[in-house]
Structure 1
Amino acid sequence: MLAHKDLHFSGRSGWLRAAVLGANDGLLSTASIIVGVAAASAATGPVLVAGLAGLVAGALSMAAGEYVSVSSQADSENADLKREAIELAGNADGEFEELVGILRTRGMSDATARQAATEMTEHDALATHAREEIGLSDTLNARPLQAAAASAAAFLVGGLPPLIVAAIVPFASVAVAVSLVALAMLFGLGATGARLGGAPVGRAALRVAFWGVIAMTATYAIGALFGTRL
């Protein structure tokens, strides 16, 4: 008999959030910088320098922010695990009864809950209480370095296309070309994220693209207003 496998979108929430946010930020930040500087400049050089600087700074900022955030989460998880270990060592019977109570609230009879609690405790008491009481599991544990690397990589992947476009098209077409490419990618990014997450595709794509248009329009207007085009 083949094993039955269900597709659960919630299991993707951690990496999906980091990937979508990172790529979206990389694309939109870099494209907006390029469009704004292009509106304020008279040559391709400053545009590429600004875009590259924004790409690198943004990737490092994303990595640092994600690392700090997930590290704080990891610290909280470790503190909860230590506290749970102390409680198990000092009051094993009380913790067992607490586990039985949790299992009963999930629909088990008292006898079944006690049997399940006994077997789960014998297998791994700390992991069982961490999962059932605190909601922690190996698949959901905070991993700061992994999160930081994923965010930085996603930012770079999202930010490179507008920089490449700016480098290969004539300067007079940079703002328009980068805007169109960024808009198309934002649609695709929003649709892909929605599909992977099980959300409505059209609404998500339009939402991402809408805010992209707002950001690029604002930076272009600032560049045109305060720039020194010759």
Structure 2
Amino acid sequence: MILYPAIDLKDGQCVRLYKGDMEKATVFGDDPAAQARAFVDQGAEWLHLVDLNGAFAGAPVNGAAVEAILAGVDVPCQLGGGIRDMVTIEGWLAKGLARVILGTVAVENPDLVWQAARAFPGKVAVGIDARNGMVATKGWAEETNVEVTELARQFEDAGVAAIIYTDINRDGAMQGPNVDATAALARAVSIPVIASGGVSRLEDLIALRDCGAALDGAISGRALYDGKLDLAEAMAVLRA
């Protein structure tokens, strides 16, 4: 399993939200590129980036911050938030992004996911954000009547690199990940699954590692910023 340190961007700053609420953002720094370098210096092999403003706007907003991160580190980065057309996908990949994450558009225009995954093998992931088992879109502001596994199975043969599954009720709450739901999703599809939301201590990563399903990785943000999770120790545990 890979540990993906998260850098969530709001108004050019590194923040963490509480359960997806943009009004409940804690600012952890105003230099995202420096934070990215700090994670890499601690041994991070990947970075998970989210353009929070972009998720609501439907188009990139924190582009300058993302480009500064890409210029400042030499590890692969994946980005979600506001990526909803082929032009934006092509633009980000041309700027050095290793993987784009398609969330809202996976619900509203699944054909784009198929098209992008075929055009850019290994560089397209699907972000599935859920509240009480149902998919939420547009920066988690809108809930749908689409069930998580139902959406994931639509892309079973599309060639997507991964599914990033976020339990919104756990995100930023430091209450642990939804291990059962994540494992159930991983068992339901052959697409690699990355767990997100609620990872706050070493025991959470061990629970995901030993959940009985083959997870590709886990994302953590607030716990790393708060010092409750040591990046090097966490990575060693996930390699075990």
Same fold (TM over 0.5): no
Greater share of strand: 2
Greater share of helix: 1
Larger relative contact order (C-alpha < 8 A, sep ≥ 6)? 1
Q: TM-score of the superposition, structure 2-length normalised?
A: 0.24
Q: TM-score of the superposition, structure 1-length normalised?
A: 0.25
